[in-house]
Structure 1
């Protein structure tokens, strides 16, 4: 069954049809990470903990809250290399939990870390060359088939093309020319050989990467001094939604079903009567969508459509309201208001400051992540004894109103991360460490 993008407004669900898989990957907590090797491995996606880097660690001073200036905690780390990119790739999102920094820009920040993978780059070049050769072979085969399908010339015509043997006309009349060599046979066996070779190379690459990463450590690094939640595995699963029910509509009301299942435009059809009700329909839709899998901590869909938390300035920016004629106010002019559709507009997101290319939606953090991080912190604190210095710092936080009795904790509804579509990098330096855009919708 093909994936469906559930971005059109729906009031109900259908119970008699099987669930439909979307393009979204949902991230779920999957127990604590206790292996020191996996804690150092950037290929292990995680919730909380300290970051694991691809290259020598960037300066810890680069990740601070833009409001208080203090180091902030890692919320999630996602291993997410792109299929057609020669770079290893990981995404990091940090957040500040100070009460005074909530609802302020710069308290949640995201970076992507790239490392040039020479072996994978060579593999991509081989695949590209193989595709080019295959396409050229297919093109020649099509041209040969087209030439052979041309109408046979009349051998008795004065305009007939001379044959090698002018007295042997049988092969020309009855089409008994020798069959061309099967070019695809050699290509097919070559493909199989290359495929086997790639499997071997891939296993070798994994071994090499594991060996390099095993030598990477944050011991004696400033990163070890940064605040951290307990580290949990982040596992992923596909999102499944029940199909929308078919409901009876009043006369004169039309539903546009053309965009159902087309994927990337993110249409939001809002019925006219809903505009007169003091209800945040974006929030209602958010809770309904998330309710199908309440444990989700992250939603990942590179190049997809974000799921807005509420009807606020961020929502209006990403899903601008269409312009339309003014509504009639007099009784004789009363009419059924046509459905208003808000469409996700990626062009409203600022371009990448490094290459000038467009940014696309990559993922968003969900409210349950706050609960999971809070629980992991309590569990982690229960396992270790506080030193005298740690107790002193905790008392100082209490006096400043930042302890258990003060206003502490993240208060966002969702944090949307937008990254460079080109995944631009500094190949000369072997990779890069670049900040990406985060748009936060706060929980009021």
Structure 2
């Protein structure tokens, strides 16, 4: 039941729902990042997404920005900077086709106590310190056996723990200071072992070790199981995919929609007033066939209940262009289309739709459940297309024909672990199109 359907407080004429509404304005109000239309601004200077993200999946041509939203969530991800983007293809042949509207999230981990410049300076100081520190004279080393060569252990004299094998459960317990549990003692009469192959240099960098370990985990991961939908074949992340095509120059894009900044207020719904019957009026039941309760049932059966609810809810605040509620529930304009069947419990094969995402596809990069974060509503179309020329793209601008665009995001906000590195993820865009007349 929606909050405005509740009669818990008859003395109040308004109720707040917890949904944040966005309103368009052609003048800067407070947030200079969030906006409709215009050109995108990237989370970090000169760190654009992969060039493939610019293109419509139908025609493979550059799309236009519909929404850029400041997405920081300090209560959920205090060390993450976030930005959300929705792009759409304005070309007529691509209308109503999957992939003509795409959604992205940019995230980077930050150090709350410093800036990138400060971290870089600290790193430079550490390097200089290492370079200026005198190297101690080499100490005589004990003989190395084959096991030590293969598994990376080194002969130690006084600092066993500093170079102990990280996989050993009892470092430093073997004779001679070796921490490698796989090294076996050799009889004194045994022939000299064959020359050991040169050991592969082991980098001391923590990041290098982490990457090596991640690679091993990825290789040894089990195959996806049909019985467990959480096990999926993950996409490679852009930062791990090697050289990627750059983001196109502005000249490659069609003329952008006009730029509008966003103001935000929490949704307030007015409670419907209950009509009263004057004392001197007497109500008599209608005797005509089809009247009374049957008339009401017939009327409701002829209308799409989802669209009625959608329209009624928007009519409380008709100037809204977006609705935002992280882990909330999207407002659907239909229960019968693919998105409605996916997210609404009455049309999802008897499955219970959970608040925050329902049965949105899981994150293709980490496998986490997706949750609802933001949706565009129809008034955004009238704002963006106001005064826009209807020609110029070969087929001409067809006009946007969606009823709402629902954006679902990774609930874990997956991103590169390295500080100050921007990660790009394509997220789920659930598009409910206008019904054909």
Q: Distance in 1 between matches of 2:103 and 2:354?
A: 26
> Which of 327, 335, 342 is matched with 1:311 structurally?
335
Indicate how the Cα distance of structure 1 residues 359 and 241 shifts in structure 2: closer, same or farther if over 3 A, else same: same
| Superposition deviation, residue 324 in structure 1 | 12
Q: 1:362 to 1:420 in 2, by over 3 A?
A: same
Residue 409 (structure 1) aligned to one of 387, 399, 416: 399
Q: Do the aligned partners of residues 232 and 343 (structure 1) sit closer, same or farther apart at CA in structure 2, a change above 3 Å counting?
A: same
Q: 1:13, 1:244 within 8 Å by CA — same for their partners in 2?
A: no
- Structure 2: 5+ residue runs without aligned partners? 116-246, 277-295
Residue number among 303, 318, 332 corresponding to 1:279 in the alignment: 303
Q: 1:36-435 alignment to 2 at 5 Å?
A: 44-55=33-44, 56-83=47-74, 84-119=77-112, 222-223=249-250, 225-227=252-254, 228-243=256-271, 273=297, 277-313=301-337, 314-321=339-346, 346-375=357-386, 377=388, 394=392, 397=393, 400=394, 402-403=395-396, 408-428=398-418, 430-435=421-426
**Do 1:367 and 1:413's aligned partners in 2 also have CA atoms closer than 8 Å?**
yes
Secondary structure, aligned partner of 2:362: coil
Q: CA deviation at 1:224?
A: 5.6
- Residue 443 of structure 1 deviates from its aligned partner by 0.4
Task: Name the residue aligned to 1:27.
Answer: 22
**Residues 1:10 and 1:63: Cα distance change in structure 2 (over 3 Å):** same
The aligned length equals: 277
Q: Tell me the distance in 2 between the aligned counterparts of 1:97 and 1:422.
A: 32
Distance 1:352 1:89 in 2: 16
Q: Tell me: CA distance 1:105–1:350, structure 2 relative to 1, closer, same or farther (3 Å).
A: same
Distance 2:113 2:362 in 1: 28
Q: Decide whether aligned partners of structure 1 residues 247 and 31 sit closer, same or farther in structure 2, where only a CA change above 3 A counts.
A: same
SS at match of 2:33: coil
Q: Which has the higher helix share?
A: 1
- Contact kept? 1:87, 1:116, Cα under 8 Å: yes
Gaps of 5+ in 1: 1-5, 123-219, 249-271, 326-340, 382-392
Q: How big is each residue's C-alpha offset from its partner over 1:234-275, in whole Å with a ceiling of 9 and x where there is no partner?
A: 111110012356799xxxxxxxxxxxxxxxxxxxxxxx9579
Aligned to 2:2: 7
Q: Return closer, same or farther for 1:23/1:417 CA change in 2, 3 Å cut-off.
A: same
Equivalence for 1:328: none
Determine the C-alpha separation between the residues in 2 that align with 1:59 and 1:443. Answer: 31
User: 1:274 and 1:120, CA in 2 relative to 1: closer, same or farther beyond 3 A?
Assistant: farther
State the Cα distance separating 1:22 from its structure 2 match: 1.2
Q: Secondary structure at the match of 1:348?
A: coil
Normalising by structure 2, what TM-score?
Answer: 0.56
Distance 1:415 1:283 in 2: 15
In structure 1, C-alpha distance between the alignment counterparts of 2:4 and 2:404, rounded to whole Å: 20
Shift of 1:283: 0.2
Work out whether residues 319 and 344 of structure 1, in 8 Å CA contact, stay in contact via their aligned partners in 2. no
SS for the counterpart of 1:26 is strand
